[in-house]
Amino acid sequence: MFIEPNFKGEKKGWIEVICGSMFSGKTEELIRRLKRVNIANQKSKIFKPVIDTRYHESKIVSHDTNFIQSTPVENAKKILELSNDVDVVGIDEAQFFDESITEVCETLALRGIRVIVAGLDMDYKGVPFGQMPNLLAVADYITKLHAICMKCGNIANVSYRKTANESQVLLGEKDIYEPRCRHCAQS
């Protein structure tokens, strides 16, 4: 469980990364943390890549249909432009952002902003996905979530693709992906 640090009134920024496979609850956890920010009357801005239109064009929506309003952006640098006068920045689907996402998150943290990032740590082949390895390397706090394997019931860390499409980026839901453990992903 993540425990928010107490800096005795000093405004210090940090980076939290929530990672795992599809269906592990990453977006659900991001939404939960951001709703607590709103309850605390902190100013926040929430972003997602413009490419992610699976559930809604401007909302971040979990597989359980919980949602929170966000701003779709075409690139990571836009997040810096739109994050003035905030306490917290939330970012979903970080694996889809360009290579500047890590620098953007570090810049925000150095400005005293709490940055909460969620994303897939691996693609469907089990290869580190996009800039997530770099974000994990600079994160102050990391939460790795797991799904349940659809074949055997063990913890799942692989987003198994059920189609033959070999493109690294293929937006989809349960029709295309299912969570599997490392052993069942090989069979």
Catalogue the E-assigned strands of 36-185.
44-49, 59-61, 67-69, 71-73, 88-91, 114-120, 141-145, 147-148, 155-156, 158-161, 177-180
pTM: 0.86
Question: Could you read off the pLDDT tens digit of each residue along the chain, which spans 187 residues?
Answer: 445 555 555 679 999 999 999 999 999 999 999 999 999 999 999 999 988 756 546 666 666 666 677 899 999 999 999 999 999 999 999 999 999 999 999 999 999 999 999 999 998 888 999 999 999 999 999 999 999 999 999 999 999 987 776 666 665 566 788 999 999 998 7
Burial of 75 (0-12, 13-18, 19+ CB in 10 A): middle
Name all domains of the chain by residue range, CATH numbers in brackets: 14-145 (3.40.50.300)
Q: Which residues are catalytic?
A: 93
